[in-house]
Chains A and B, each alone.
Chain A
Amino acid sequence: MSSREDILGRVRAGLQRNAGNAAVGREVMAAALSSRSQGPKPAMDTAPQALLERFRVKSEAQSSTVDIVVAEAEVPTAIARYLTAMKLPKAAVAQPALAALDWAGAGLAVELRGARDADLVGITGCFCAVAETGTLMMCSSPATPAAVSLLPETHIAVVHASRILPYMEDAWNLARAELGSLPRAVNFISGPSRTGDIEQTIVLGAHGPYRVHLVIVED
């Protein structure tokens, strides 16, 4: 007998599985998968301005920094300003999805590709953001490689205010509507990487970025 059959066989024995309770079980399963019922969620003001404000406050609480601009065209200049202030190089890897922005015009040497170990700054968009916890939702694709938000010491993300949603449940629905099925990697990111493994003392910059900077576009 294969291990699969052995394991499932003992599970079935434990549940006293028979044709009758299997049919009931299948109904329970089908109902759960189709109803996608949601659990209780913290109350939230879902007016657009309130969502943006909550997202900002929660992001800052996770040690991200936040800049707000009024048009997408201003993003490269805002990023150049941040890099200057942080004394970081004006060179970055950016996800190919951000090709339309005028990086050179802002004095930035941006390469549109996947990330490499030597990249110091990584610029990404995001699929959407979650106001409840101040979280970015990143969906991997050829135009949005996952490692750009992981390998560089500095991660800069462009967030459109119109895509700040109240809850993670809303993000799933948006993904189902726009992408159909889940991409290879969905990464929810909430601030720079961190560890508390030595004396429960939080240190930023474990294996991923030391800093996360968010440029929110009010559109």
Chain B
Amino acid sequence: MEIKSMRFKANAAGSLANVVLQGNLKNAKGKFVTKRAEALKDLDDFEGTRDAAVAIRNKVIDNLDLWLERFEQKAQETGATVMWAKDGAEVCRLVTEIARKHGVTKVTKSKSMLSEEAGLNQALEAAGIQPVETDLGEYILQVDNNEPPSHIIAPAVHKSLDDVADLFHKVHGTPRKTEIPALTREAREVLRGHFLSAEMGLSGGNFLVAETGSVALVTNEGNGRMVTTMPKVHVVITGIEKVIPTLEDLSTLMRLLPRSATGQSISNYFSILTGVKKPEEHDGPEHLYFVLVDSGRADVVGGDFHAMLRCIRCGACMNHCPVYQTIGGHAYGWVYPGPMGSVLTPLYAGMENSIDLPHAATLCNQCGVVCPVGIPLPDLLRRLREKQTERGLRPLKERIGLRLWAWVAQRPKLYALGASLGARYLKWLAGDADRIRLLSTAPEWSLGRDFPAPQGKTFRELYAARQKINKEAA
């Protein structure tokens, strides 16, 4: 997917000015938060379960090479083929080759963020293979001119019922429907034919189980089951960090993932798929491929951002983020939005391509509090900011400004003089008002808010005056 993260400020401003989007975001905002809080209640020991989940994820990523080899061996024993892809281009090449080998003309897809990273749909189309997104949200986006998702769990969260009603009326050529169940039924009927005719199903993987060589899929709609049951070929595309040790670990993580993501105690369907169909079986794929994808992950191992590899893609961090709630997912400009996206995009798509993202946070730590695998997201964002400075990626004006400030701040007398002049200047600028509407020297500060006017004296001056009074009184 094209990286538009360098346009973050303009994108965010556009999102803020988009009245329809603001309404849709406001509508979605409370629902995720309330449902999650409600779902956590019947988990007696959230903290203990989270500690266990952190330990499970750490156990794997701290020895990721060994676990990957173990998973690969088990998966091969079940009859699956395991392939490795360094980047999105290699994902596209491998999947296209698999499709060609089996004479595939149509691929039904269950939601895969990695496929978005790789731009797989475009590659398949270019090879004359039809990709069909089957998650309702992803389908809505695909038929709306391949719009990118704005949320990792609810990809079309930025769209309203009216938007979908207009869209289906236009692309399906059916009478305009205004009820959500009727629109869902319409998509079901369109997609059923694709499920039955596609020769290949493509899914992501929520977890890879090293004990059994299986992939675990968490879904609600049943499309994940369809694409992994009906076609003769099933391809799993997943990041190398998704391995977990045992089925017991899967159970522990499943107590957290659906609760954190959609506020469900368990998702409707939870499928653990191992190997291929036996000759006497009625259904299931005859060929199973795993494409284990790096795309920046291997270089994160063992470094400053190692903890980020624990992420299980629940979306709780964005659902609770005041910035995400206000601007939506598209402003972030790549596959992953919100706090996790602000860490992942610089790591996977390049720090120089996403200079504003580590700053697109208030560091309020709501994300850190709700993260089911205890990723210290604000710390990682702060570390990214440091890295930007270390690598000289910040704008020249900011670098000169900070250097100047540091020089002055190391000279107390000069600093006091500067502060005193500044306070008086701002008071003069405010005139009789208690606030400044537009600060001409730093207009960005006062574009979306007023600048409070100082009283005219600095803290040091007031303190010195108080000391003097106290001395005289004594």
Residue B251 CB within 8 A of the other chain: yes
Chain A residues contacting B45 (CB-CB under 8 Å) are: 40, 42
* A155: min CB distance to chain B, Å: 10
Decide if A7 touches B298 in the complex (CB within 8 Å): yes
Knowing A184-B273, A184-B275, A207-B195 touch, does A199 contact B27 (C-beta < 8 A)? yes
Tally chain A residues at the interface, Cβ within 8 Å: 75
Residue A140 CB within 8 A of the other chain: yes
Q: Count of A-B contacts with CB under 8 A?
A: 262
Residue B220 CB within 8 A of the other chain: yes
When C-beta atoms are compared, the residue in chain B nearest to A187 turns out to be B271
Residue A87 CB within 8 A of the other chain: no
Decide if B281 touches A38 in the complex (CB within 8 Å): no
Selected from B59, B211, B252, the residue in CB contact (under 8 A) with A28 is: B59
Range class of the B interface residue count: 35 or more
Residue A47 CB within 8 A of the other chain: no
User: At the interface with chain A, which of B4-12, B135-143, B333-341, B418-426?
Assistant: B135-143
CA gap between A189 and B270 in the complex, in Å = 7
Knowing A11-B240, A200-B157, A207-B223 touch, does A135 contact B66 (C-beta < 8 A)? no
Residue A124 CB within 8 A of the other chain: no
- Among B132-161, those with CB < 8 Å from A are 134-137, 140, 154-157, 159-161
* A31: min CB distance to chain B, Å: 9
When C-beta atoms are compared, the residue in chain A nearest to B140 turns out to be A197
- Among A101-158, those with CB < 8 Å from B are 113-115, 117, 133, 135, 140-142, 145-147, 150
Residue A81 CB within 8 A of the other chain: no
Interface of A is mostly: loop
* B339: min CB distance to chain A, Å: 20
* A195: min CB distance to chain B, Å: 5
- Among A203-218, those with CB < 8 Å from B are 203, 205-209
Decide if B269 touches A193 in the complex (CB within 8 Å): yes
CA gap between A186 and B422 in the complex, in Å = 69
CA gap between A181 and B272 in the complex, in Å = 12
Residue A48 CB within 8 A of the other chain: no
Decide if B283 touches A114 in the complex (CB within 8 Å): yes
CA gap between A202 and B246 in the complex, in Å = 32
- Among B292-309, those with CB < 8 Å from A are 292, 294, 298-303, 306
When C-beta atoms are compared, the residue in chain B nearest to A168 turns out to be B251
Selected from A8, A12, A39, A207, the residue in CB contact (under 8 A) with B222 is: A207
Chain A residues contacting B284 (CB-CB under 8 Å) are: 140, 146, 184-185
CA gap between A181 and B32 in the complex, in Å = 38
Decide if A15 touches B301 in the complex (CB within 8 Å): yes
| The 7 residue pairs across chains A and B that have the minimum distance between CB atoms | A208-B222, A114-B282, A39-B252, A14-B302, A14-B301, A206-B221, A39-B52
Q: Can you report 25 A-B residue pairs in the complex whose CB atoms are below 8 A from each other?
A: A3-B85, A3-B294, A7-B86, A7-B294, A8-B69, A32-B59, A39-B49, A40-B48, A117-B192, A147-B283, A167-B251, A168-B251, A172-B247, A172-B248, A184-B278, A185-B271, A185-B284, A187-B269, A188-B269, A196-B220, A197-B135, A197-B156, A206-B221, A207-B192, A208-B269
Can you name 9 extra interface pairs (CB under 8 A) apart from A197-B156, A198-B156? A40-B49, A141-B281, A145-B283, A187-B225, A190-B270, A194-B221, A199-B27, A207-B192, A208-B269
